[in-house]
Amino acid sequence: MIEFQNVRASYGAREVLQGVSFRIAPGELVALVGTNGAGKSTAMRMVNGLVRPTGGRVMVGGVDAGRAKVSQLARTVGFLFQNPDRQICCSTARDELLFGLRACGADDEEAARRVDDAIERFGFRADADPFLLNRGARQMLALAAVTVLHPAVLVLDEPTTGLDFRECERVMEVVGRLSAAGCTVMMVCHDMEVVADHAPRTIVLHEGLVLADGPTFQVLRDRDVMQRASLVPPQVVAISQQMARDLPQVADGPVGCANTVDQLVDAVACAAASSLGARRCADARTAPGSSVGCADRVFEQGKEGLR
């Protein structure tokens, strides 16, 4: 659905993408990560034609995005800015949701149906003034305004920045549902916890080139890649890797390969079983001092059991 074929991009004499290639299939949700200035926003803006390649090709749904009109690409590509205030332009939630549909020439009846549906699903008040909503609600409104267009491709620029945990989860739940329904999602994100929780695949851009591209945890666990790209892995991954370094005998086992809190707690609880004298892992999880709420003791006991 999105294909970068040896793509180059420059601002004046400065080349910021130096031959970038990747392919994102329909329905995939892919995170694009990298340090500031790596070229992520430039790559994103190429998908909807705001930046044109100076070399190679960007194909979106079979259309050459380097040659297509921005208005043509807008029918396929929904774009969510990092700051919803750069997107919101109407004085009521309802008008905001209608804005893009009208711009695309949607039939009045169909537009009204989609907007009513979005108002109900997202829980907006139709006459709410968007600029009086809090940051999270404005982000949801901007996202809803994109989703009513039923885009085949969704490009997200830092969709969770400035949101609290609950708002972040709501935004990502909507994005996940769109992806599950077949929408191709490319998400620029600086938060590796969000990437780990929601993006099955991650592409790392570094100095205008693809440094890594693969299943998210494979990328996040690659210390060389993470260090070169100045990225910090999610805490659970960092703890699991630290334990694997401290206890080489578990490096290739469940403790050294845990990617989620549940996986790590299970792995450590299993290890703790021997120090507690419990026969089964389940016993270890329920034994006194081994609950998730006493995680520090679980880790200590787990390490103890492994020594």
Ligand X SMILES: Nc1ncnc2c1ncn2[C@@H]1O[C@H](COP(=O)(O)OP(=O)(O)OP(=O)(O)O)[C@@H](O)[C@H]1O
Name the residues that contact ligand X, by CB under 6 A.
11, 16, 34, 36-42
Which is closer to ligand X, CB of 38 or CB of 237? 38
Token pair 């469940």 in the structure block, residue:
254
Nearer Cβ to ligand X (41/301): 41
Minimum CB separation from ligand X for residue 51, in Å?
Answer: 8
DSSP string, 184-248: EEEEE-S-HHHHHHH-SEEEEEETTEEEEEEEHHHHHT-HHHHHHTT----HHHHHHHHHHHH-G
| Rounded Cα–Cα distance for residues 210 and 34 (Å) | 10
Nearest distance, CB of residue 69 and ligand X, angstroms: 20
Helix (H) or strand (E) holding 224: helix 223-228
| Shorter beta-carbon distance to ligand X: residue 16 or 141 | 16
Question: Which helix H or strand E contains 16, and what residues bound it?
Answer: strand 14-24
Instruction: In angstroms, give the least distance from the CB of 41 to ligand X.
Output: 3
Q: Among residues 40 and 303, whose Cβ is nearest to ligand X?
A: 40
Rounded to a whole number of angstroms, the minimum distance from the CB of residue 42 to ligand X is 3
Nearer to ligand X, 16 or 255 (CB): 16
Task: Tell me the closest approach of the beta carbon of residue 179 to ligand X, in angstroms.
Answer: 22
Question: Shortest Cβ distance from residue 68 to ligand X (Å)?
Answer: 20
Beta carbon nearer to ligand X, 16 or 60: 16
d(C-alpha 234, C-alpha 34), whole Å: 15
| Smallest separation, CB 19 to ligand X (Å) | 15
Sign, CA torsion 77/182/101/92: negative
The count of C-alpha atoms lying within 13 angstroms of the C-alpha of 117, restricted to the half-sphere facing its C-beta, is 11
What is the Cα 145 distance to its own chain's centre? 19
Q: Any idea how long the chain is?
A: 307
Is 16 or 111 the residue whose CB approaches ligand X more closely? 16
Q: What is the spatial distance between Cα 73 and Cα 87, in angstroms, rounded to a whole number?
A: 17
SS3 154: strand
Nearest to 49 by CA among 188, 189, 155, 201: 155
Assign residue 73 a region: left if phi > 0, alpha if psi is -120 to 50, beta otherwise? alpha
CA distance 9 to 43: 8
Angle of the 108-122 helix axis to the 135-147 helix axis, nearest 10: 140
The nearest distance, CB 218 to ligand X, in angstroms, is 22
In the complex with ligand X, the residue whose CB is nearer, 71 or 230, is 230
